[in-house]
């Protein structure tokens, strides 16, 4: 396949990902369907939609399995999807999207090894700061009474045990799946917790891991998520858990490295508008610039994001219900920001820069300084729904400094820079992590991976292991590619 235009030239002409895009009432961008695409129809055996980690891994796997006739179509003018590096000076970057990896994430560990990308330990030496139920404390664990600690451990153990009963990656097949999916995680906690401390800590965990409140999140979804990660501890532990290590050069380099050999088989600024699958005719994938014909399509994105694409014929009802349910979740709109300092000053005071809170405007803080410690970076997660006074960008920067000073002292006011990414206003990612509400998983969960005709699904949400994480995105991409190869060869 040839492409007479260079990608750079295309991006310059169209202004990148914004090709005719508009934001609908639901917050989803839907690109306007042009009357006539600008270029002639092209053919590729497989079209991959989405150049996040999952779509790019699908491309790598197709190539490894001997299939070179594919094209990756990406709406944005960059690769990486929900991973994004931002430069912070002196050649350093900070991630404002997906970032940490941890033990048991074998798919990403193997991939970065093969790509020659290194990883290093995140900084956790010293005390963590906690702000729970209005009390600020510092240490390995929050300041708790013996009774609170025992209550939390008991409930956490019950949750872990329940999650381990689920069939891996197929929670809808669990005994009592419907009842578990009708209950909320919050209601389950209320029945079991004997102290107010336990629900407070799970509120903290719910906001951090699923970007939502336990009272509105399906219990089955929480159990599935924990099962896919191997339990509660791997999810919530920083040191030794999912937040254990960072990627050399920032996590977006993984996508950039995967994209490099694709050359003109990766097309940026190509929002896919419509996918037609009318067998025995070839499939058609329509973008504002050109139409592709294909034998198979891999859609590599979150179910909510597929709502921007028109499928003809319509997708099966349960798949539609799954995607539309996913798009309407009561997620906390999330901003990941980084406050920059000339040194990681908190380290000299015995603090590791991590802060975890069940209530304040800032949910979480991490020390995200470069590995050599040549400057200081505190990355913060927060939602303006919980902090309306931080809605304005300038107010936010000053407000955050004041908040950080509550935890790390007055030197936190002396920031030398600030970068942020507001995921709630991103036109191509509907939020980032997912608080699935009751009923969605049992109504349509099996359609997370089940192909719809010749359309195959990738994206981290479809992963059996580490669903929601970069690791899940990678294994899901590889799985979708091998499904496609098997289906093409049985044709």
CB of 429 to ligand FAD, least distance (A): 5
302 binds ligand FAD (CB under 6 A): yes
Query: Among residues 55 and 186, whose Cβ is nearest to ligand FAD?
Result: 55
Q: Any idea what the Cα angle at residue 42 is, between residues 36 and 45, rounded to 5°?
A: 135
Structure tokens at 479: 């799985």
**How far are the Cα atoms of 70, 86, 268 from residue 259, in angstroms, in the given order?**
13, 18, 11
Report the site for ligand FAD in 467-486 (rule: CB under 6 A): 468-471, 473
- Least separation in angstroms between residue 196's CB and ligand FAD is 29
Cβ atoms of 58 and 483 closer than 8 Å = no
- Residue from 93, 108, 86, 225 nearest 164 by CA: 225
Rg of the Cα atoms in the chain: 22
Q: Do residues 454 and 464 make contact, with C-beta atoms less than 8 angstroms apart?
A: no
Contacts of 120 (CB under 8 A, 6+ apart): 245, 246, 248, 371
Residue showing tokens 């917050």? 27
Task: Kindly indicate which of the ranges 4-12, 32-40, 72-80, 319-327 contains the residues binding ligand FAD, using the contact rule CB under 6 A.
Answer: 72-80
**Which one among 277, 305, 358, 367 touches ligand FAD, defined by CB under 6 A?**
305
Which C-beta is closer to ligand FAD: that of 268 or that of 485?
A: 268
User: In sequence order, what are the beta bridge partners of 283?
Assistant: 294
Helix (H, G, I), strand (E, B) or coil at 16: helix
Check binding of 449 to ligand FAD (CB under 6 A): no
Cβ 144 to ligand FAD, closest distance in Å?
A: 26
Nearer to ligand FAD, 366 or 407 (CB): 366
| Rounded Cα gap, residues 225 and 163, in angstroms | 8
45, 60, 76, 265: residue in contact with ligand FAD (rule CB under 6 A)? 76
CA dihedral 213, 214, 219, 222 (to 10 degrees): 70
Peptide bond preceding 280 in cis form (omega within 30 of 0): yes
Question: Does 341 participate in binding ligand FAD (rule CB under 6 A)?
Answer: no
49 or 377: CB nearest ligand FAD: 49
Of 267-286, binders to ligand FAD (CB under 6 A) are 271-272
Q: Which of 44, 208, 432, 448 binds ligand FAD (CB under 6 A)?
A: 432
Q: Which stretch binds ligand FAD (CB under 6 A): 70-78, 110-118, 142-150, 401-409?
A: 70-78
246 binds ligand FAD (CB under 6 A): no
The correct pick among 52, 169, 344, 445 for binding ligand FAD (CB under 6 A) is 52
Window contacting ligand FAD (CB under 6 A); options: 156-164, 353-361, 409-417, 425-433 = 425-433
99 versus 358: smaller Cβ distance to ligand FAD: 99
Is 309 among the residues that bind ligand FAD (CB under 6 A)?
yes
Residue placing its CB nearer to ligand FAD in the complex, 400 or 473: 473
Least distance CB 283 / ligand FAD (angstroms): 15
Decide: is 234 part of the binding site for ligand FAD (CB under 6 A): no
Number of residues that bind ligand FAD (CB under 6 A): 39
User: Under the criterion CB under 6 A, does residue 257 sit at the interface with ligand FAD?
Assistant: no
CB atoms within 10 A of CB 410: 8
End-to-end CA distance of the chain: 23
Assess 428 for contact with ligand FAD (CB under 6 A).
yes
Using rule CB under 6 A, residue 94 touches ligand FAD: no
Torsion of CA 296, 300, 302, 306, to 10 degrees: -40
The helix/strand/coil state of 185 is helix
Q: Is 73 in the site for ligand FAD (CB under 6 A)?
A: yes
Asked whether the beta carbons of 267 and 42 are under 8 A apart, the reply is no
Q: Does 459 bind ligand FAD (CB under 6 A)?
A: yes
Greatest Cα-to-Cα distance within the chain, rounded to the nearest angstrom: 71
Q: Where are the beta strands (DSSP E) in 186-333?
A: 245-247, 266-267, 274-276, 283-286, 291-294, 296-300, 310-312
Residue of 61, 67, 74, 181 interacting with ligand FAD (CB under 6 A): 74
Is 50 an interacting residue with respect to ligand FAD (CB under 6 A)?
yes
Give Cβ neighbours of residue 406 (< 8 Å, ≥ 6 apart).
136, 360
Does residue 365 bind ligand FAD (CB under 6 A)?
Answer: no
Across the beta sheet with 376-383, the strand order is 135-139, 127-132, 351-357, 362-367, 376-383, 334-341, 417-422
Q: Which of 247, 240, 251, 246 is nearest to 103 (CA)?
A: 240
Q: Rank residues 123 and 197 by Cβ distance to ligand FAD and give the closer one.
A: 123
Name the token pair of 419: 């970068």
CB of 343 to ligand FAD, least distance (A): 24
Report if residue 434 touches ligand FAD, rule: CB under 6 A.
Answer: no
* Positions in 318-337 near ligand FAD (CB under 6 A): 334, 336
CB closer to ligand FAD, 193 vs 470: 470
Burial class (CB in 10 A: 0-12, 13-18, 19+), 87: exposed
Q: For binding to ligand FAD (CB under 6 A), which residues are involved?
A: 49-55, 73-76, 81-83, 97-100, 271-272, 300-302, 305, 308-309, 334, 336, 423, 428-429, 432, 459-460, 468-471, 473
């Amino acid at each position: 396949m040839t492409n007479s235009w260079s990608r750079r030239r295309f991006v310059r002409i169209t202004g990148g990902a914004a090709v005719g895009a508009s934001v609908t009432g639901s917050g989803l961008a839907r690109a306007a369907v042009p009357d006539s695409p600008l270029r002639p129809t092209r053919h590729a055996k497989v079209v991959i939609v989405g150049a996040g980690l999952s779509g790019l891994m699908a491309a790598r796997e197709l190539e490894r399995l001997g299939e070179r006739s594919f094209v990756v179509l990406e709406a944005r003018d960059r690769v990486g999807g929900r991973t994004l590096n931002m430069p912070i000076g002196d050649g350093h970057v900070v991630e404002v999207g997906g970032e940490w990896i941890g033990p048991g994430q074998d798919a990403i560990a193997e991939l970065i090894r093969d790509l020659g990308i290194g990883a290093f330990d995140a900084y956790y030496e010293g005390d963590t700061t906690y702000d729970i139920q209005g009390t600020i404390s510092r240490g390995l664990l929050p300041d708790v009474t013996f009774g609170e600690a025992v209550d939390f451990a008991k409930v956490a153990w019950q949750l872990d045990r329940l999650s381990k009963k689920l069939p891996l990656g197929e929670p809808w097949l669990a005994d009592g799946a419907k009842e578990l999916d009708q209950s909320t995680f919050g209601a389950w906690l209320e029945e079991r917790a004997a102290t107010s401390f336990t629900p407070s800590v799970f509120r903290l965990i719910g906001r951090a891991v699923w970007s939502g409140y336990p009272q509105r999140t399906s219990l089955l979804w929480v159990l599935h998520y924990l099962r896919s990660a191997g339990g509660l501890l791997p999810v919530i532990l920083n040191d030794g858990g999912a937040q254990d290590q960072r990627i050399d050069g920032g996590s977006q380099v993984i996508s950039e490295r995967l994209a490099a050999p694709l050359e003109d088989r990766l097309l940026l600024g190509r929002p896919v508008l419509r996918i037609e699958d009318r067998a025995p005719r070839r499939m058609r994938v329509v973008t504002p610039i050109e139409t592709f014909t294909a034998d198979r399509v891999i859609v590599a994105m979150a179910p909510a994001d597929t709502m921007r694409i028109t499928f003809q014929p319509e997708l099966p009802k349960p798949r539609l219900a799954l995607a539309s349910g996913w798009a309407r979740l009561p997620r906390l709109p999330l901003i990941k920001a980084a406050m920059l300092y000339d040194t990681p000053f908190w380290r000299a005071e015995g603090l590791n820069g991590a802060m975890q809170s069940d209530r304040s405007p800032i949910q979480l803080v991490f020390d995200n300084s470069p590995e050599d410690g040549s400057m200081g970076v505190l990355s913060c997660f927060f939602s303006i729904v919980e902090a309306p006074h931080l809605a304005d960008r300038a107010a936010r920067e000053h407000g955050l400094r004041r908040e950080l000073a509550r935890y790390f002292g007055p030197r936190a006011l002396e920031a030398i820079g600030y970068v942020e990414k507001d995921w709630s206003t991103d036109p191509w990612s509907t939020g980032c992590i997912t608080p699935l509400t009751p009923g969605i998983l049992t109504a349509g969960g099996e359609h997370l991976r089940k192909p719809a005709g010749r359309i195959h699904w990738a994206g981290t949400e479809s992963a059996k292991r580490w669903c929601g994480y970069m690791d899940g995105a990678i294994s899901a991409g590889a799985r979708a590619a091998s499904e496609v190869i098997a289906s093409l060869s049985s044709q």
